[in-house]
A and B are shown apart, each in its own frame.
Chain A
Amino acid sequence: MEVCGTHTVAIRRFGLQRLLPAGVKLVSGPGCPVCVTPDSYIDEAVALARQGVVIASFGDMLRVPGSRSSLEKERAAGADIRAVYSPLDALQIAAETGRETVFLAVGFETTAPGIAAAAMKALENKLDNFSLLTALRLVPPALKALIAVDTGLSGFLLPGHVSAIIGRKAYDFLLQHRLSGVISGFSAEDIISSLLLLLEMHNKDIYKILNNYPAAVRDSGNEKSRTVLAEVFEPVDAEWRGLGFIAGSGLNVRPAYAGLDSRRRFTIKTESASPQRGCRCGDVLRGLIDPPACPLFNKACRPDQPLGPCMVSSEGSCSAWVTYG
């Protein structure tokens, strides 16, 4: 299983799934932070947008459908919603407009430290109109939840850049479950060599966590990043689309920084609606089914009219399957 959306896309973009030998299957896991965010998060963002708050977000989130609307639709209706490449851009928007600005803090451990650093900068610059609506998620707790039930998996292709932050040793718990892992970069050559290592270990009945991306990943990761992250955020239980609530798998703003927490700064009232019937994003995210097994896949749910986040996100499995075949 690969648990990084960027790996999912790379594998299908290079057509690697077609090069696998018989008996080997690659299953896509919950590696796309946009995809694992529940509907209620979009609803919160929409509610804030309607309150006149400036919303700054990574581009992908704009098209994800919530219970009743999406940020793209709200923008067309007049809300001030801007796509940014970096949380630092959101800081700039807050500084320039002087208006209440909320950054949609979505991502894994690769992105969370940068968001924390941006939040610290807001404090340094005495910016009092900037806050975060968090939906940050952590990979190791999700892996633990995944393997708590028998998955039939033999090993993991581990995310290269998350690992740059958390380090190789963060995955040692997999070994107790007789699962190996290879941390991989993102080129075709990196992924192919990583898959070879996984297969070799499988054939020899060896269980190890190997670092096949030493250029970016060290045993203990990037400690400074983790320090900055821990200054601003604390682990909380969080809901993952498809996986339900997982203990300690999310990050929220620490109470000491209440001013930076959109949920404490604003009253956010959302109206929920019943979930999309037929959408099997949850099962896709757990690797239980391939995207084509979802009844909505490429029929009612397509890249130009997505019903679920797996089809919207540029790193969603469903999107990757439609886009690259």
Chain B
Amino acid sequence: MDKVLLAHGGGGSKSAELTRRVFQRFLHDPLLLEMDDAARLPGQVFSTDSFVVKPLFFPGGDIGRLAVCGTVNDLAVMGAEPLYLSIAFIIEEGFSVMQLEKILASIARACRESGARIVCADTKVVERGKADGIFINTSGIGRPLFKKPVQPSRVRPGDVILVNGPLGLHGVSVLTARGEFGLKGKIKSDVAPLWGLIKKCRSLDIPFMRDPTRGGLAQTLNELAQGKKFGVRILESELPIPRKVAAVCDLLGFDPLHVANEGKVVMVVARRDAAKALKMMRSHLLGKDARVIGEITSENPGRVTMATRTGSERIVMAPVGEILPRIC
């Protein structure tokens, strides 16, 4: 491996490969190795994320909103209330101040929605042509409020898998906003802060929670299953895939399970808690379409399988490389 490829940034197995074979040779603090994009510190959770989405503005959001929600959600799925954010901008010479103001207004709004406060910030400007408009990094600190920490080792066969709503919206929104492949259409991204929704389930024991961003649901479920003694099984007929997402995926040959989401959480709870979890989620705007999409099984350990509409089975692989570059 002598050059970094676009595929290494896709969030799928190639990204994991870059992390394993290059980054982890130099950066291997035990806290980092536990989980790479969020760290469990004494009494706190700490997370970081960078945003390079193209285009900067898309239906339902923009890079600013994404930058706040992305980190807030990384904290939220650790069961932590987002408290403080840092934000750092790298801006290309010549960038429109009016656009910058729009992005900042969006950032401020997203902070108000999520309850997080931006308490430190930095800005750099680079020469024209060196930053594609604007890149943003956010880091965040959260306070764990769940009694029992999110811990995938507590997942058991028989547990059920829930998702709070329709899948594939963000990736498809950005793709059509780019006008790529000549497709024009308005599809709203689902980018939203999830703590308000997740907080509703605070009294439950949730062994696994993750937001299926780059790499989609398939990536998240494979991360859950990999190396474990249980398998993950989802039901194709239960997957909430909106018609517009299906249409874009059909037209371009993508798998909706590989498409990024920015306002979705996948949760695993014990079967006896499923009804309660659904009720709690459905009491929040972002969870009104919450549903059960599958279960943890003792069969096919380490793998993700799907019961197909035709009554058969197939495996669900993690996506390999770049399905859609610069999606978040």
Whether chain A touches chain B in the assembled complex (some CB pair under 8 Å)? yes
Instruction: Confirm or deny: A148 has a beta carbon within 8 angstroms of a beta carbon on chain B.
Output: no
A15-B314, A16-B312 known; A85 and B181 CB under 8 Å?
Answer: yes
Structural contact, A188 and B315, CB atoms closer than 8 A: no
A46–chain B nearest beta-carbon distance, Å:
15
Contacts of B311 in A (CB 8 A): 19
Pick from A29-37, A69-77, A228-236, A251-259 the stretch touching chain B.
Answer: A69-77
- How does the 8 Å CB contact mask read for B4-42 relative to A, with 1 for contact and 0 for none? 111100001110010000000000000000000000000
Q: A14-B314, A19-B310, A325-B315 are in contact. Are A304 and B5 (CB under 8 A)?
A: no
Contacts of B305 in A (CB 8 A): 325
Contact B5 A85 (CB under 8 A): no
Complex-state Cα separation, A322 to B314, whole angstroms: 10
CA distance A89 to B181 in the complex (A): 8
B308 at the interface (CB under 8 A from A): yes
Given the interface pairs A72-B5, A89-B182, A323-B317, the reply to whether A304 lies near B310 with Cβ below 8 Å is no
Contacts of A211 in B (CB 8 A): none
* B321 CB within 8 Å of chain A: yes
- Interface flags, A249-274, vs B, CB<8A=1, else 0: 00000000000000000000000000
Q: How far is the CB of A195 from chain B (nearest CB, A)?
A: 12
Please state if B315 and A323 are interface contacts (CB–CB under 8 Å): yes
Knowing A77-B3, A188-B309, say if A13 contacts B320 (CB, 8 Å): no
Residue contact B310 to A63, C-beta cutoff 8 Å: no
Q: Does B129 contact A (CB under 8 A)?
A: no
Closest Cβ of chain A: how far from B243's Cβ, in Å? Answer: 16
User: 1/0 per residue B162-199: CB within 8 Å of A?
Assistant: 00000000000000000001100000000000000000
Which B residues are CB-close (under 8 A) to A89?
Answer: 181-182
CA distance A160 to B159 in the complex (A): 42
| CB of A191 to closest CB in B, whole Å | 9
B252 an interface residue at 8 Å Cβ cutoff? Answer: yes
Assess the A15–B310 pair: CB atoms within 8 A.
Answer: yes
Q: How far is the CA of A131 from the CA of B6 in the complex (A)?
A: 27
A18: chain B residues within 8 A (beta carbon): 312-313
Q: How far is the CB of A55 from chain B (nearest CB, A)?
A: 15
- Is B253 an interface residue when CB atoms closer than 8 A count as contact? yes
User: B14, A304: Cβ atoms under 8 Å?
Assistant: yes
Given A63-B321, A76-B3, A76-B5: A304 and B312 interface contact (C-beta under 8 Å): no
* A73 with B3, Cβ < 8 A, contacts A304-B13, A323-B317 known: yes
Return chain A residues, CB-CB under 8 Å to B14: 304
A85 with B313: CB separation less than 8 A: no
Q: Is the CB of B182 within 8 A of A85?
A: yes
Contact pick for A192, options B7, B13, B253, B310, CB 8 Å: B310
Partner of A76, one of B4, B17, B253, B315: B4
Cβ distance B253 to chain A, nearest Cβ, rounded Å? 6
Q: Tell me the bound Cα distance from A63 to B182 in angstroms.
A: 23
| A interface footprint on B250-274 (CB within 8 Å = 1, 0 otherwise) | 0011000000000000000000000
Chain A residues whose CB sits within 8 angstroms of the CB of B312 once the complex forms: 14-16, 18-19
When distances are taken between beta carbons in the complex, the residues of chain B under 8 Å from A218 are: none
Q: Does A86 contact B (CB under 8 A)?
A: yes
The contact sample of 27 A-B pairs, CB cut-off 8 A, is A13-B308, A13-B314, A14-B309, A14-B312, A15-B308, A15-B312, A18-B312, A19-B312, A72-B5, A72-B6, A72-B7, A73-B3, A75-B6, A76-B4, A85-B181, A86-B181, A86-B182, A188-B308, A192-B310, A303-B317, A303-B320, A304-B14, A304-B321, A314-B253, A323-B317, A324-B314, A325-B305
List 7 additional contacts besides A18-B312, A76-B5, A89-B182; criterion CB under 8 Å: A15-B313, A18-B313, A72-B5, A76-B3, A304-B13, A304-B321, A325-B314
What 4 pairs across the A-B complex have the smallest Cβ distances? A15-B312, A325-B315, A85-B181, A324-B314
Q: Which residues in B have some Cβ–Cβ distance to A below 8 Å?
A: 3-7, 12-14, 17, 181-182, 252-253, 305, 308-315, 317, 320-321
